[in-house]
Amino acid sequence: MPAGQRVIVWFRNDLRIADNPALTAAIATGLPVVGVYLHEGPSGLRPIGSAARWWLHESLHALGRDLASLGIRLKAEAGSAGTVLPHLVEQEGAGAVFWNRRYAPAAREVDAAIKEDLRRDGIEAASFPGSVLVEPFDIATGEGRPYSVFTPFWRALRQRDIARPASRPPAVGPALEPETSPDRYDLPRWAEKLPSHWQVGEAAAMQTLHDFLEQTVARYPDGRDLPGRELTSKLSPHLRFGEISPRQVWHAALAHGAHTADGEAIEKFLSEVAWRDFSYHLLFRRPDIATVSMQSRFDAIAWRTDRAALTAWQRGETGIPIVDAGMRQLWETGWMHNRVRMLAASLLAKNLLIDWREGEQWFWDTLVDADEASNPASWQWVAGCGADAAPYFRIFNPITQGEKFDPEGNYVRRWVPELSPLPDKWLHRPSEAPREVLEAAGIRLGQTYPRQLVDLAVTRRQALEALAQG
């Protein structure tokens, strides 16, 4: 048991009270517990994006209320963890600091230095596994090497006995009046629309999981590719901030599958959850995957600098309806359907030959679920330079993909309403539509809707030539 009078729980990407190993361990000491969240200053860590800043703001308020119900205060501070934490230890008379582990190289360096400093000062410092199904250093190939391909990683993970999640811990004292966590960020004005699209916090995360399993998962294997229908889990931002743990998702899904006829759908869903673990597996062992290609041979690619094309892509004005729909959905809601993320990323990195890092940074700033592992790993996968990369010669055609996965045009018509009057036959091909069809729909290309930014066939050939030289 710690020698001090209190235990500090340092919250990071684990903003929940159930299945939170660090919090559970702190409460088990029998000592008073203080929760702390640090808005960490420059220390090699990647600054959080704008949309995620809004989510964090809301999630900390929810966590503060939940902790207060257990008799625990949540303090929000700003600054370097190496400076702020020792000050808080002294201020609170704490004998221990507990936290759940992070896996990015820069974050691990920060945590290791803090652990060493605290222990040198006689303070107990302990870290726990709370953010992944299997820790990156605890799973390897038969030769003891890290996995670089998802399928064998998934097979190995599926055979593991994933630890069961811990339940909500007991209160440590009378319920407190929740304190308002101080705001440490200037939130962008465009984030003001996000509350109309999301419920934030641990309770919302658990409800989202429940609703998905009870109402949607049976249609997930095929439906997850249809952006015009609400058939995905929408759990990604809750997982990103740790409002729900992957172990909670894993075991709830298994329990549902065991008592229903949805077993096949559950397996598909679990494999997608495992992609998140695989991304952290990659993040753990490599340089900053948001800036360094996992396959070094692609470092020599001569990416194009085209600010006008990049801006058109960001604004959803490429003249390719399903890509424009996705980019507008992103700007409005802070989220984009995964199938459309792949199409938007492929257009930018391959047809436009604009550096994938430009797109990754845009997603990082505008996605509420911008995850330090999944976001860059997915961009590298699409760009063809990732560890488990789609072959560089796989280039999505967003027009035929739109026709395949949004055949009735529900998605495009929702997010690109100026195209709504077009018949289904031409909805995904307005630049090819006959003049009389466009006139009947009241569409003037280049005025009411952009002309197609690039010729997909020509730019595909150019991309293949450039990427082959990588």
Q: What distance, in Å, lies between the first and last C-alpha atoms of the chain?
A: 56
Q: Structure tokens of 369?
A: 């679920």
Which H or E run includes 314?
helix 307-315
Q: Which of 135, 179, 267, 303 is catalytic?
A: 303
Catalytic residue chosen out of the listed positions 135, 267, 331, 338: 338
Closest CA to 381 of 436, 421, 352, 338: 338
272 is catalytic: yes
* Rounded-to-integer distance, Cα 439 and Cα 270, Å: 48
| 413 within 8 A of 427, measured Cβ to Cβ | yes
From the candidates 99, 154, 275, 335, give the one annotated as an active-site residue. Answer: 275
CA distances from 30 to 18, 19, 99, 172 (A): 18, 18, 17, 8
Q: Which residue has the tokens 């916090």?
A: 201
Rounded to an integer, what distance in angstroms lies between the CA atom of residue 215 and that of residue 14?
27
- Cβ count near 255 (within 10 Å): 12
The rounded distance, in Å, linking the Cα atoms of 218 and 460 is 37
Within 13 Å of residue 387, how many CA atoms lie on the same side as its CB?
23
Catalytic residue among 356, 362, 364, 426: 356
The question of whether 364 is a catalytic residue gets the answer no
CA angle 140, 143, 146 (to 5 degrees): 35
Cβ pair 3, 29 in contact under 8 A: no
356 as an active site residue: the answer is yes
Is residue 379 among the annotated active site residues? yes
- Report the C-alpha gap between 128 and 109 in whole angstroms: 16
How would you label 25-37 residue by residue, b for 16+ Cβ within 10 Å and e otherwise?
bbbebebbbbbbb
Catalytic residues: 272, 275, 303, 338, 356, 379
